[in-house]
Amino acid sequence: MRIAVGTNNPVKVNAAENVFSSVFGDVTVDGINVPSGVPSQPFGNDTVKGAMNRAKNAYESGRYDYGVGIEAGLFDIEGYVIDVQYCAIFDGQWTTIGCGSGFEYPSLVLDEVLSGKEVGEVMSKFTGIDDLGKKMGAIGYLSNGMLDRTRLTEQSVFMALIPRMNKELYKH
């Protein structure tokens, strides 16, 4: 089974590889940089659109069974701003989606992000760790390593596979 993940971020590629291989067995996974069609720091529904665009663009980039798109974005819920990672999986006809757990950024980080900066950029400045989003992630830093971004991303990929593990129960 051949899978294209629409990103160059090794955290997302590894997360997709871990989940697809544990569900389907032998898989070949390529990370391919494709356009998301949404701003680099998406808010709300743009996050889901970005994941879906990446999944379709990744699928169309070669001879793949599945295209996977993963996008992290911020959601305003009852005055709380929550970071959630969405995953979309496209097989040429059917798109399934899922998301991981959500968490809050520190107020200082959030203020800069709401004024137009990207989470990765602000968190790298705040922690002194370059490319944090490609390593343990903000969540790894904030959870003292108890949950890293690979595990967080795996949750979203796994949730997007749930309908595919129960195909007969879903309209597609």
Site residues for ligand CZF per CB under 6 A: 7-9, 12, 41, 71-72, 83, 85, 118-120, 123, 132-133, 137-139, 149, 152
Tell me, letter by letter, the H, E, C secondary structure of 74-125.
EEEECCEEEEEEEEEEECCCCEEEEECCCEECCHHHHHHHHCCCCHHHHHHH
What's the closest the beta carbon of residue 137 comes to ligand CZF, in angstroms? Answer: 3
What's the closest the beta carbon of residue 38 comes to ligand CZF, in angstroms? Answer: 8
Give whichever of 68 and 123 is closer to ligand CZF, judged by the CB atom: 123
How many CB atoms neighbour CB 104 within 10 A?
13
Give whichever of 93 and 124 is closer to ligand CZF, judged by the CB atom: 124
- From 118, 67, 76, select the one nearest 97 (Cα to Cα): 67
Token pair listed for 59: 């699928």
What's the closest the beta carbon of residue 32 comes to ligand CZF, in angstroms? Answer: 11
Token pair listed for 11: 């955290």
Give whichever of 130 and 167 is closer to ligand CZF, judged by the CB atom: 130
